[in-house]
Structure 1
Amino acid sequence: MRRRTVPVAVTAAVTAAVTVAPAAVTAAGTTAALTPAPATHAYARPDPRGAVAALRSRFVPRHGVRFREKVATRYFSDGRRIGMDRYRLRGAYRFGRSGVVASRTIHRTDPRDVPRAVRDTDPAIRLILLRGAMYLGARGLMASRPRRVTWVRLDDPGLLSVQTINVLEPATLRGLLATARRAEPGGEIGGAPTTVYRGTITARRLYAVSRTYRVMTGDRPRGPAGRLAIDWSLWQDAERNTRRLAVSFAEMNPWARGWDRLAAITTSTATFRGWGSRVRVKAPPARSVIDLDDPAMAAQPMPAPPRLSVPGLERFMR
């Protein structure tokens, strides 16, 4: 049976619930333009070569790293906040000799954003990304299996991470650190002293260096979209293992002025632990998998896919 292919930018399955302005914002006709990056000044950038070499040394088959992430998007209209969208991710990345080869993630909407009446029934969404296939899993998806997790299988264009900035890609890590403005002591994380690097990267530059970002967004960002400023802070320990990554960006209405321009602010914080630990990621059991094009899916709800905290993706929802 022919499987349905996930289109570029994963718009059919993963971006259906991306962090975009809600109806209250889109109904007003807002098309997010993006915050231009501030002018740069001369400064001494940290040398990224040590961090990239350390990352490559971690690429040992069947090993990897675990992560947790919190993402929040605040929506605005006429300068006032009109809503908030929050969710949490946790999972693990599995390495091969050249980088990440698989990942598994559990996505949950923040309980504070779920109505109390349905809070106990709000299911976690599971995501398994392998080379060549993507699996979305949810409990009770099939009426015949109300207490079991059913997995929907889709072809995958090569996405192995759903994080805005994938610092597990050597090219992305190198490109990110090349935009660092400063480095300073970052305190202890997980008992390890860290150094925090801070900087700003434009969407255009991130698109150029990051394969993950290109797959998630599809089209090359141009004009105001390419000048979007993504602020970041990266904490690394003495062995140059990434311990934490914080990202933030603001999206604007191009036709408005002053505070009326602000449409949304997205922030995310990811923590990494268990570097070098054994990580197992594999396809779900065949008996629990159903293809998206299977006739049995016609009468079943599609599980709400994990959201992507990627700027500008509202253009896919027009």
Structure 2
Amino acid sequence: MKRILAGLTLASSAALMAALTAAAPAQAAPVNPVKALQKQYKAGHGVRVSETYRTKTNGKTGIVRTTAGSLGFGKSGVVAADLRFREKGGMAGLSPSRSITVGKHTFVQGGIYSEGLPEGKKWIRYQDASVLYTSQPLDVFDAKVLKALVSKAKSVKGGTYRGVLTFGDVSRLYGEKIDKRLAKIKISYALDLNAKGLVTGVRSAYTLDYGILGSTTATANTTFTGWGAKISIKAPPSDQVVDLDELGSDTEVPQEIPNSSLDSLGGIG
């Protein structure tokens, strides 16, 4: 699963949410979570996901985005997704209400993605299978990230690992380049593992400080349930689908779905 952080601008780092960072000696995980995750990678199976993402700017609620759906596995990881979204505040209406990723394509509908479509068409097909829409900057399906969340934890209690990483740390794990100003910003996190070493939740928080303009704090709370469930994700009916390039140059439909990279935070490129 890829990462998306959209709609925020960058200035400098600021204090993060202290509630996520209780201090205590770290302990070794009773079960290797990376190996536990890899055992789940079987075609026809997957996991259900739900997420709430919130922003507050100068203490006032900004965006509230909820995500719910299923992720389908292949032998090497997540290969398909069917996700539904609801969004309030901010730029609500500019995001899709549903996305399906299957094979080499991602299909989206809702909001601006459903405006001006030919009669009978309900979905737009993008030639991009890398987009799995989430606002969680910490991708637990990336083995390097999951390992770091456990090994870098400053506190371990009851299967919950708490710690702090910077965006620079995370970008190196993903193998992405980011603006040096963004790299110093800290992400406080709490990772929940069950007795089998499988992730049941990950919570993160970070703050962007705009100086005299104030600051924005973002929190993402992602939960996973039903590990190993039989999940079948299929593309929408072909007669309801239109390819993006068929819409012509005058279309108001976005030419691409947000690119899932850390650099999409504030449009850094």
TM tier, smaller: 0.7 to 0.9
Correspondence for 1:153 among 114, 120, 125:
125
Aligned: 1:32 with 2:4: no
Identity over aligned pairs, percent:
22
Local SS of the residue matching 1:176 = helix
Question: What does 1:1-318 align with in structure 2 at a 5 Å threshold?
Answer: 18-20=6-8, 31-35=10-14, 43-47=25-29, 50-76=32-58, 81=59, 83-110=61-88, 113=89, 125-138=97-110, 141-142=115-116, 145=119, 150-156=122-128, 158-160=130-132, 162=134, 163-185=136-158, 195-210=159-174, 214=176, 220-253=177-210, 256=211, 260=212, 262-295=214-247, 298-299=250-251, 301=253, 313-316=265-268
Deviation of 1:46 after TM superposition, in Å, equals 3.0
Q: Which runs of 5+ in 2 are unaligned?
A: none
Structure 1 range deviating more: 230-239 or 43-52: 43-52
Deviation of 1:129 after TM superposition, in Å, equals 2.4
Deviation of 1:298 after TM superposition, in Å, equals 3.5
Is residue 204–residue 226 contact of structure 1 (8 Å, CA) maintained in 2?
yes
Deviations along 1:126-164, one digit per CA (max 9) or x if unpaired, are 11223432221128645664xx77111112262345332
Distance 1:45 1:203, change over 3 A: farther
Is residue 61–residue 95 contact of structure 1 (8 Å, CA) maintained in 2?
yes
Deviation of 1:105 after TM superposition, in Å, equals 1.1
Distance 1:203 1:299, change over 3 A: closer
In structure 2, what is the Cα distance between the partners aligned to 1:285 and 1:299? 22
Is residue 162–residue 190 contact of structure 2 (8 Å, CA) maintained in 1?
yes
**What's the RMSD between the two structures over aligned residues?**
3.6
Distance 1:157 1:100, change over 3 A: closer
Distance 1:199 1:263, change over 3 A: same
In structure 2, what is the Cα distance between the partners aligned to 1:35 and 1:47? 30
Name the amino acid aligned to 2:36: A
In structure 2, what is the Cα distance between the partners aligned to 1:184 and 1:271? 18
Is residue 141–residue 149 contact of structure 1 (8 Å, CA) maintained in 2?
no
Other-structure match for 1:5: none
Distance 1:242 1:97, change over 3 A: same
Deviations along 1:179-214, one digit per CA (max 9) or x if unpaired, are 1111112xxxxxxxxx11111111111112236xx4
Deviation of 1:44 after TM superposition, in Å, equals 3.6
Distance 1:99 1:312, change over 3 A: closer
Is residue 31–residue 196 contact of structure 2 (8 Å, CA) maintained in 1?
no
Local SS of the residue matching 1:298 = coil
TM-score by length of 2: 0.80
In structure 1, what is the Cα distance between the partners aligned to 2:153 and 2:188? 10
Q: Which runs of 5+ in 1 are unaligned?
A: 1-8, 22-30, 186-194, 215-219
Deviations along 1:250-299, one digit per CA (max 9) or x if unpaired, are 0112xx3xxx4742100111111111001112222211111112146835
Other-structure match for 1:217: none
Whichever of the two has the greater Rg, that structure is 1
Distance 1:178 1:222, change over 3 A: farther
Other-structure match for 1:191: none
Distance 1:107 1:304, change over 3 A: farther
TM-score by length of 1: 0.69
